[in-house]
Amino acid sequence: MIIDFFKAETKEERAAINTFLTRHNQRGQGSVTGYVAYYAAAWPDDGRRLVDRIVAAAKFCPLHTPQAARFFGGKEWRHVYCLQRLAACRAPDNLLSQFLGWCLKRMGEDPKVYYVATYADTGTFDPRTERPHNGGIYRATNAVYCGLTEGKRVEGFIVDGQRRSLRRGPKTLTLTDIPANARLIRHNPQHRYCWAVGPTLARAFRRRALEQRMNRFEFTAAWQPRLLARLIAWLVWLRKNVRTRRHSV
């Protein structure tokens, strides 16, 4: 059987994707209001529920803050969208990168979408390797690396052992509204990535402009076993040479 990629069009399909993301994404299902595009990869109908046949899912929405949108899109900041959630479970090898590439192609068919940005939270870990998430799947799909956020933004606080969010209904609390005895919870640093999407020629021009804006950033992985092994080998070599020189003197 072949796994099908599809865009959710019905309420039941969107609910199944939200349930799948709640189960398999550490940050939950994400936004459910406003414009949200739902995509999924699932086995053909074999009598099981849709949520049990899904092996990968993604959600896209407009980037929420104009400041972040201007960082990625420059003057075209109104056309920047965001890959908000991505998850996979029981997916065959290489399927997630194929699925993400298909989703980006579908998003590029919308004339309002020029760029798709996303973040890799360094505070989350790959359960298979126990290593920090640094966006390997995004680099595999040819995303442009856009630097690392500072991670200073306050996203909540703790009072009397209870964690509370800054969002209270329609109101978002400011730092002056937080009790003086509260412990602030700051956001983890995040790797930023962005894709240029759209028709072939337009996408090429957008990607070139994006690379020019982001050429000052260089990716540094959160965990580099090969680099660590080379550093240890170099230290061992240096120690041996220092000892040899001392004996010769």
- Outline which parts of the chain fall under CATH 3.40.630.30: 4-150+190-224
Q: Per-residue pLDDT for 167 more than 70?
A: no
Contacts of 125 (CB under 8 A, 6+ apart): 131, 132, 133
CB neighbour burial string for 80-96, b if at least 16 within 10 angstroms, e if fewer: bbbbbbbbbeebeeebb
Q: How far is CA 120 from the centre of its chain?
A: 4
Would you identify the CATH topology of the domain 4-150+190-224? Aminopeptidase (3.40.630)
Q: Which residue has the higher pLDDT, 209 or 168?
A: 209
Averaged pLDDT, 112-120:
95
- Tell me what percent of the residues of the chain surpass a pLDDT of 90: 49
Q: Per-residue pLDDT for 204 more than 90?
A: yes
Averaged pLDDT, 95-118:
95
| pLDDT tens digits along 69-92 | 999 999 999 999 999 999 999 888
Please answer whether residues 1 and 44 qualify as being in contact, where contact means their C-beta atoms are separated by less than 8 angstroms: yes
Average per-residue pLDDT for the chain: 85
Q: Per-residue pLDDT for 207 more than 90?
A: yes
